[in-house]
């Protein structure tokens, strides 16, 4: 059976980077796989979070899953901290992880760079991420490009555990889309579009109004060549906008190049904003209906029960394999 586990951290306002790299792929993946989609709130607190914001954002991410079209009847949707097995297997995986491996993680290096002190959890985070995935015996994990290294470590840890203690975990494969898996900032195409960037014009948020969307794309950096052509080496800003266009319109890059041949960036940027707004407005409407509803709470409660059942079975196997006393 093919099974998927993936999630989006409630560490900031969701933007079109997470949409292109994760949320949109989840929608097609749910047709083919048994899916667990979760809100990794334990990961969000590896950096300082305001409790009220964490609470709201955790519900937001769950509501966006449903508003975008994840079917809660087909998929298990839950909040990580409601399934204690994550924290417990996270600890066990830390015991299998080498200090040097964690130190090589580029996300840790980026997030800790220039800081006087960071939490120990920011360092050990990839071991918890491995636990998230291994608990569900996920065969596949859809992620954006920036999570590739964490997935490689997860695979190494699963294999290491299986070699030491006997076959316990499925070794998962990443699913990384060819389009939309690395959406860059609108202000600087050398930096990933990120929830933690304080410059609000660097990204389009999922809750931006059509006007804000238009303004942000109008301001997005381009280049002086004036041709809509994909070339990440010499035209990263325009290539990024083209990928975003492809994500929202469903058109191929070749079709986009053909459509805007011989034109400047003006109409391309306008159409891009319309394509994004057309896709996001219905999601926003559904999000507003659901975010504070009893329906959302019921889905999350049911999801936590189903997830616990699957996670607890794996946790028990892992503990028995390691020699813990279990009854
Ligand atoms: P997070 O919350 O940073 O991002 C959620 C997902 O969105 C993708 N993504 C992007 N894709 C394309 N362009 C971007 N600019 C962009 N920004 C984010 C990410 O690659 C990710 O797939 N560690 C994870 C959360 C996590 C997880 C897991 C994911 C915890 N446990 C287990 C999968 C399985 C994270 O921080 O993602």
> pLDDT per position in the chain (327 positions), as tens?
799 999 999 999 999 999 999 999 999 999 999 999 999 999 999 999 999 999 999 999 999 999 999 999 999 999 999 999 999 999 999 999 999 999 999 999 999 999 999 999 999 999 999 999 999 999 999 999 999 999 999 999 999 999 999 999 999 999 999 999 999 999 999 999 998 888 989 999 999 999 999 999 999 999 999 999 999 999 999 999 999 999 999 999 999 999 999 999 999 999 999 999 999 999 999 999 999 999 999 999 999 999 999 999 999 999 999 999 998
For ligand 1, atom 16: residue with the closest CA: 17
Q: What residue's CA is closest to ligand 1, atom 34?
A: 6
Q: Which atom of ligand 1 is nearest to the CA of 129?
A: 31
CB of 15 closer than 6 A to ligand 1?
A: no
* pLDDT (0 to 100) of residue 195: 86
- Residue 20 Cβ inside 6 Å of ligand 1? The answer reads yes
**C-alpha distances in Å from residue 188, one per residue of 106, 140, 191, 220:** 19, 32, 6, 9
CA distance 1 to 290: 31
Helices (H), the chain: 16-18, 24-29, 41-44, 51-68, 85-94, 99-103, 106-112, 120-135, 148-165, 210-219, 236-249, 253-259, 266-290, 294-322
Q: Which residues are designated catalytic?
A: 111, 192, 195
Tell me, in angstroms, the distance from the centre of ligand 1 to residue 231's CA: 25
Question: How many angstroms separate the alpha carbon of residue 294 from the centre of ligand 1?
Answer: 27
Please state, in angstroms and rounded to a whole number, the distance separating the CA atoms of residues 140 and 204: 28
Tell me how far CA of residue 21 lies from CA of 15, 117, 118, 244, in angstroms: 10, 30, 27, 10
Domains of the chain, earliest start first: 3-182+293-322 (3.40.50.620), 200-287 (1.10.240.10)
What pLDDT, on a 0 to 100 scale, did the predictor assign at position 68? 98
Instruction: Tell me what pLDDT residue 214 has.
Output: 97
Q: What is the largest CA-CA distance in the chain?
A: 72
Phi, psi of 92 (to 5 degrees): -60, -40
Residue nearest to atom 28 of ligand 1 (CA): 129
């Amino acid at each position: 059976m093919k099974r998927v586990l993936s999630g989006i951290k409630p560490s900031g306002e969701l933007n079109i980077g997470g949409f292109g790299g994760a949320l949109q792929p989840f929608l097609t993946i749910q047709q083919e796989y048994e899916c667990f989609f979760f809100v990794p709130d334990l990961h969000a607190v590896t950096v300082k979070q305001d409790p009220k914001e964490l609470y709201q954002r955790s519900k937001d991410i769950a509501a966006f899953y449903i508003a975008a079209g994840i079917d809660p009847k087909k998929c298990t949707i839950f909040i990580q901290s409601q399934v204690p097995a994550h924290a417990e297997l996270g600890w066990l995986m830390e015991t299998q992880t080498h200090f040097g491996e964690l130190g090589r993680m580029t996300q840790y290096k980026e997030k800790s760079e220039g800081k006087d002190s960071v939490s120990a959890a920011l360092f050990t985070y990839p071991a918890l991420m491995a636990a998230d995935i291994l608990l569900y015996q996920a065969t596949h994990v859809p992620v954006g490009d920036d999570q590739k290294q964490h997935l490689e470590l997860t695979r190494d840890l699963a294999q290491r555990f299986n070699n030491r203690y006997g076959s316990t975990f499925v070794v998962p494969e990443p699913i990384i889309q060819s389009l939309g898996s690395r959406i860059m900032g609108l202000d600087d195409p050398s930096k990933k579009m990120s929830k933690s960037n304080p410059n609000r014009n660097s990204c389009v948020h999922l809750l931006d109004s059509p006007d804000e969307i238009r303004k942000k794309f109008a301001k997005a950096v381009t280049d002086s060549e004036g041709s809509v052509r994909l070339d990440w080496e010499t035209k990263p800003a325009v290539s990024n906008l083209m990928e975003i266009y492809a994500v929202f319109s469903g058109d191929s890059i070749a079709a986009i190049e053909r459509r805007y041949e011989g034109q400047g960036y003006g109409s391309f940027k306008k159409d891009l904003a319309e394509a994004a707004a057309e896709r996001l407005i219905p999601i926003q409407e559904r999000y507003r209906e659901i975010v504070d509803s009893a329906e959302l709470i019921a889905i999350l409660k049911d999801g936590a029960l189903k997830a616990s059942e699957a996670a607890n079975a794996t946790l028990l196997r892992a503990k028995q394999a390691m020699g813990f006393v279990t009854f």
